[in-house]
Chains A and B, each alone.
Chain A
Amino acid sequence: GAVVSQHPSWVICKSGTSVKIECRSLDFQATTMFWYRQFPKQSLMLMATSNEGSKATYEQGVEKDKFLINHASLTLSTLTVTSAHPEDSSFYICSASPSWPRTDTQYFGPGTRLTVL
């Protein structure tokens, strides 16, 4: 149980294009989902907290106009990297916390590797 999927698992795009990454909780409902970014040889950095039906809360230094987050349902959150540039190349990971029973436990997706040429 508690499976989180991400799609796509990897994507290569040209500079200036937009890329959408989906995060789904497959067997539970998640009021809250989190988006992380992992730089090579570094720990995960929390980008934003995504709440179903409301605007995402972005961490300091994360451009909300560049990284658009939509949490349309209790099982789906999307991250859109707009006008991608090579410096946006990274490993993006989402996680989800079950709505019930509510705990701090988070379940992570497998990650999406974005390469911007």
Chain B
Amino acid sequence: GEDVEQSLFLSVREGDSSVINCTYTDSSSTYLYWYKQEPGAGLQLLTYIFSNMDMKQDQRLTVLLNKKDKHLSLRIADTQTGDSAIYFCAGGADGLTFGKGTHLIIQP
């Protein structure tokens, strides 16, 4: 089955860019996803990228996909305190496999 790996914590200063990285093993996913989980809340779909794309930009979010290396990243520009959350990457053709989530910590 799919294995998805992420680092558990990332600390950045407010206003800087955050880059959250993810590696995966199964290349059959048609889409790869980034989800955000705020404290006490369910998951929110942040963005997704079609597997034949290299990059997708959506306002402050930039997703980069390197299929050769099976590496996915999420860049958040101008990180704000409201971006503090757990970010999950996920993939899978049917029934998603999630990474353990990266806790994004914002320093003032």
Contacts and interface: CB of A to CB of B under 8 A. Distances in A.
- Residue among B30, B94, B100 facing the most chain A CB atoms (10 A cut-off): B94
Contact of B88 (A32, A41, A43): A43
B99 A111 contact: no
B31 A104 contact: yes
Contacts of A49: 94-95
A46 B88 CA distance: 14
Contact of A106 (B88, B96, B100): B96
A12 interface: no
Given A43-B88, A44-B88, A93-B43, A108 B95 contact: no
A54 interface: no
A56 B41 CA distance: 26
Nearest 10 pairs between A and B by C-beta?
Answer: A110-B42, A111-B42, A43-B98, A43-B100, A44-B98, A108-B43, A104-B30, A104-B31, A46-B95, A49-B95
21 contacts: A32-B94, A34-B96, A41-B100, A42-B100, A43-B98, A43-B99, A43-B101, A44-B43, A46-B96, A46-B97, A93-B42, A104-B29, A104-B31, A104-B92, A105-B48, A106-B33, A106-B45, A106-B96, A108-B45, A111-B41, A111-B42
